[in-house]
Amino acid sequence: MQYYSWAGDEEALPCEKCDNCLHRQSHCPIIQDARQDALYMLRVIDAVTNYMKNNNENTTRDDIVQVFCRSKNASVIKKNLNHLDIYKENYNRILKRQEEVAYLLEDLVIRDLVEVKFKLSKPTPTSQITCNLIYIGVTENAVERASIGSWIYSVRSRQK
């Protein structure tokens, strides 16, 4: 509130009742150590990529994120990903939102703990080229390397 005050004005304390105060509380990021989520994500990636390879299908980001989050949508059910043992595990994760989980997955790729390949396609001669990531699996020693890495994330708090 200092931004809209005159020099010498007293600082207005948060009232904790108005929309501004409530909005600030609900969107205040918190720092979390997501090491266990990273290790669990590697297990999910391994399970999903092996299952999809056995069915001669490519593994997408959504497949992995939705199994990690235990989504119950049509895509998961159609691909029978809800029958995987890891899907049925009751894991209490730190990262709750799918966008946070997708960020963790991308972080694993960037750290070279997950192997991916790029699939470029151009459906028609006049369309633009599209690029999709296909997840192959975890790299060698990924679990050991993830165990010693830093997995500190700033996530949106889940108050109220």
Q: What is the pLDDT of residues 35-65, one digit of tens each?
A: 999 999 999 999 999 999 999 999 999 999 9
Task: Measure CA 51 to chain center.
Answer: 20
Amino acid in the structure at residue 38: A
Q: What is the pLDDT of residues 13-34, one digit of tens each?
A: 777 788 877 776 666 778 899 9
- pLDDT given for residue 158 in this prediction: 60
Alpha helices in 19-149 (DSSP H): 19-26, 35-54, 61-68, 74-78, 85-88, 98-110, 142-148
d(CA 124, CA 102): 30
d(CA 37, CA 43): 10
d(CA 112, CA 76): 26
d(CA 125, CA 38): 41
Q: What is the mean pLDDT of residues 121-134?
A: 92
Higher pLDDT, 143 or 14: 143
Name the pTM for this structure: 0.80
Q: What is the mean pLDDT of residues 90-103?
A: 93
- Encoded tokens for 1: 């509130």
- Encoded tokens for 22: 């409530």
Q: Yes or no: is domain 33-151 CATH 1.10.3470?
A: no
Three-class SS of 72-102: CCHHHHHCCHHHCHHHHCCCCCCCCCHHHHH
Say yes or no to pLDDT of 120 above 60: yes
Distances (CA, A) of 83 to 70, 77, 105: 11, 8, 22
- CA nearest neighbour of 104 among 159, 156, 35: 35
Mean pLDDT for the chain? Answer: 89
